[in-house]
Every structure is written in structure tokens, then in C-alpha cells.
Structure 1
Amino acid sequence: MAVSKPAPGVIRKLNEVVVNRIAAGEVIQRPANALKEMIENSLDAKSTSIQVTVKQGGLKLLQIQDNGSGVRKEDMEIVCERFTTSKLQKFEDLNSIATYGFRGEALASISHVAHVTITTRTVDSKCAYKGMYSDGKLKEPVKPCAGNIGTQITVEDLFYNITTRRKALKSPSDEHAKVVEVVSRYAVHNSGVGFTVKKHGDSTADVRTPVNSSPVDNIRTIFGPSIAKELLNISHENQQMSFKLNGYITNANYSMKKCTFLLFINHRLVDSGSLKKAIDNIYQAYLPKNMHPFLYLRTVLSAVLYVKCPQNGSFSNALRQM
């Protein structure tokens, strides 16, 4: 007996709102991801002070205030649209890009999964301007208001329209810890910038670093003096590969419950989970039980390299493979 074949499905073009929300979910997976994108925008704007306020782990409120160059009133209408950026004009500019972001997707993605309000003022403007955004578009015309030079971005009710993503997140306290971790790592790497992060309504900050402090000063402030006093400066350079590495690592006298690993490549924070695990395994092989390192590494590459850390071998050998 012949088996009937199923009819082919109808191919349809997805609605633009659906497309944008799917794309937003790839960029913004949790409050800490949204904050990372906004911190990088603030750093690109040459900010020297970045203040973060969080409520319910960033799900209810995630606000960032900087003193950077601000956004022009003329650009407010399209600032939350996809692929709108001041950092790139033509494809060839990618060869000399010197900023964190350049695709213009961060604010657009956030506006598709949250309510976004931007208050900004440039140095040559007599007042600040406020705009409220949803799905990449202004809800109403931009209005003049009082405000300092720089930009304040307020993100409210993150994932209000994607209940499955919101339910998949951990508790507000866990999400808050991830937010603090992101701020801490950028504070160590950008020691010329003052960072502050605190819960909404609290008078004390979870992290506060002064402007123009050293990386070691910020490590001491964030991770404690017991780590800072055990730090050793390390550096490595390979001119043939145009590769430079420098940073800090705790010496063999230091012990902690887990490995702490901060990795920046070309000034970009790298999710180094698998490499961290490999390094932790190496230390377990060479050091006594319960002795784990603190590492802060910053590398500059002229090309993308594949970093591999062997299961059996020393950390220095792993660095030589980079």
C-alpha cells in the first residue's frame, strides 16, 4: 500500500517585529548581557564615570548613567533602530575599528524586549533631551529636559514580552550577582574610569572604584586585599604573530575556593568558561588541593587566534600556544 507523503509547509516571510525579537534574544540573554552592551557604549563615548543602578537583578530596572559625549538631538529618532551607528560608515572601516561596538544592534535589541528611556545631553547643547522607545521606535517626539552632559539609559521590565526567557532566568539575587560581576571586570580592565553599581534605593554601593586608579587598586577594592598582595605581574610578546599579553596572576602561596579568571582580548571581555576550567584543571595537577588562582589577562592580537589550553601541561606552555 502506498504511503502518502506530507504536504510541504508554506514558506512565509516573518513579521518584522518577530524577526527583531528573535534577533534581540540572540544579543540580550539576561540583564548582565544588556548591561555589558551599554557599558561598552559608555566607554566608546569616552566616559570617565559610569554609574549603574539595578532593581530585582535588572529585570525590573537597569539604569546606566555616564558623563560621555552624549547623543545628538538629531540622532535620537533612530538611535534604537537596528544597524544605526556612529562608529562605522563603510565596510573598509572594519580594518581600523577601534571601538567596542559598531553594528548598532545593542540598543535596538534591548528596546525590542524592554521599555527604554534615553536622556542625553551633548557638550554644545543648552539642555538635555529625553526619548522613550519600544521595538526600536520612538513612542512620542523627543522632549527637552534638565540633565547633565552624557547619557542616561533606563531599561525597565526586561523580557516583559518574552515570558519563556524571563522564566528561564535565575533568581533576582543571582542575576544581580552577574550584573555586579560584569561591572567588576570592566572596572579592573578600565582603571581610568570610575565605576559604581548599587541596588535601587540603597545608599551603599556593591562596587565603587575611583577614577584613574590602577588595575591592582581595583582588584584590591573588588576582590579584597588578600588577592591583591599575592599578585604577580606577567607579560609575553610574540612579534611574529603580533601578539601581546600582560596581566596579573596570584602566586603559589594564594589559595581560594574557585578559579577567578578575567580575560580581555583586544579590550573585549571574553566568556572564558571552558578555558577557565582547563586552567583550573592544570592548577589542580600542579598545586595542592583547594589552591586555585586569580588571573587577569589582557591580550592584543592583530589576527584572531585559537586559544587552546591542554589538560596536561603547565600554564606557561598554554600561553606559548596562544
Structure 2
Amino acid sequence: MHLSRRALLSGLSVAALASCQRDPGQGGTPSPTPTLPKLTPSPTIPSSPAPTPSSPTPTVWPALTEPGEARKAVQQLQATANLPVVKIDITTTQATLSALDERQPRAWRWSQGQVNEVESDIEYIEQSSFDPADFDFDDVGALFAQAADMSGSNASQELQIVEQTPGSVMMVVTTRPESVPVFFRPDASLVNHLDFLTDWGLREALDDAIAGRTQLTVIALTRESVYAESVDPHEPENTLRITRQRRVPAFRTSLADASNLGAFGPSEVNLAMLLETMRTLPAKWQAPRDAVVTWVIDRRDGRPLPTIRFTLDGRTMVTDMQGRDITSEV
């Protein structure tokens, strides 16, 4: 039988395909499995975070203990209140100003650059108003440091400017819990705790009590204070007494009665003689250890110059201004 050429080629192709797919167990040679190329995974690219809106940086205000900061805060309070000032309180972070509005106290507080009205913590009892510009609190940190050295505490320190006694507005640093209050003069000089048996202590006490007056009627030392009297320049029918205690600044008192004693100049006082007598008299009179010498200088004896009356343990000695005993002469 004769096959066509196309039929023959078709048969050969089927036979070749069958040969390629024959089971290896049947003696045929398997065709190799095609090798696929290995794919390397693409690296992961982290996604960028979504942008967030920027928040404003908060303003950090300097502590009021930094030089000049307390002054600026108080000036801001004054501008807001615009009333007579009767008290100022300053801590490390806050300043409070109390003022009078038709005899009613009101208060404003500065904190972090903001001023808000707050409830007043004072009761108006005829306190003296004052101008903060008359007081040197430009460096509250320095005042706090000196106060801590003297009182032994820096816990919750606060500077107050307020009337302490009638007519006497003072600066004082206090602590919480309370320790010894420490006072400062308006010029920021420290009011020392005085020992009247020392040259510097008695000298400071006399300077504060005399207060620049040139004519006095009395200078006296008690157990706890030195005071000096003169005619009251504002009310001549009264006597002005300025007292300096051991631990607080000098304060003024107007006494209702005018003195009938003659006046003398404080330059006549012999400080060295006073100290020498105060130190030696207890041994001379064999007084108890806790006995304290006190004295009064005035012109009650009618002499051209004042005399001094030293008193100790119930006994009195009168001397002239050089310390000569004239007890028997007066």
C-alpha cells in the first residue's frame, strides 16, 4: 500500500512524541526538566510617614529670681492695676500686687507673662501705700540667697513688700514652713541681727534709730532695742520715736506728748565708752550672769551736756558723756 508523503510525516511525528513520553521503567531515557531562572525579591522601601502639622513652641519665661525679671513683672502688674499699691508678693514663678480701689483691696497676679485678677488676701486697715520704684528688688535671687544664709532655710521663699508697722513699709523674705524672717532696707541692704555688745552691732542700731536727725531729746538702750526721740517734724506737738530692735528694721512711732527735755546732738555720743561700761559694769557690781546693762542719754539733769544713766540689776549709775561717775552730783 502506498502512503502519501504527508501521511508518512504525520506518523513519524506521532511516533517521536510517543517515544519522548515513554515511562523510564520501560527502558526509555527521560527528557530533562527545564530549569527556571531564580527570581530575587525586590527590596522593601519603607513608606514615609504622613506629615503632621507643627505645634508652636511654648514660651519659657525666666524665673523671677533672675536679675531684672521681678521688676518687669511688677511694672506689668502696675500698668494693669493703675491703683495705689499696698502690698507686693514675689516668688520664683509668680508676682502678686495688691492695690486699693476706693478703699477696697484688689489683687492681680503675674504668671508666665500673663496678668489675671485674683482674690485679695489682705484686709484694708489704713495701710500705707507705696511706690514700688522706691524699693530695690531688681535681683530677687540675691535677696533670697542672703536670706537663706541668715535664716538657715530656702524652702518656698517669698519676698514681701508691705507696711510692717504704721508708716514703715519694709521688704522681708519669709519661708514655708516658717523660719526667721529676714528684712531688707529699701536699698536692698540687709538688716542684720544685732548684738548690742559689739561695736558694729551697737553702731548699726544707733545709726538706724537716729536716722540722720541732728537734734534729739533721748537716746536709750533697752534689753531688746535702741531708740531715739526728737520733735516730730510733721506734728511738732508730738514726739517722734524711732526704734531699732535686734532682728527687725527700725520703725517709727509718733507719741502724743511733746518732750520737755532739752535737745542735744548725737555726735556727742561716745560709742567706745558706752561699750566699755556695758562690758565691765556686771563684774564691777557682781551682777548675775543674765543681768543686762541698759542706759538712757538725755538732759533731765539740767546740765549743758546730756548725762547717761546706766542701770543694772536694780542699781543706777550716772555719768557724763566721757564716762565719769557723777552719781553723787545729780
TM-score class, shorter: under 0.3
Larger Rg: 2
Tell me which of the two structures has the higher relative contact order, counting C-alpha pairs closer than 8 angstroms and 6 or more residues apart: 1
Tell me the TM-score normalized by structure 1. 0.26
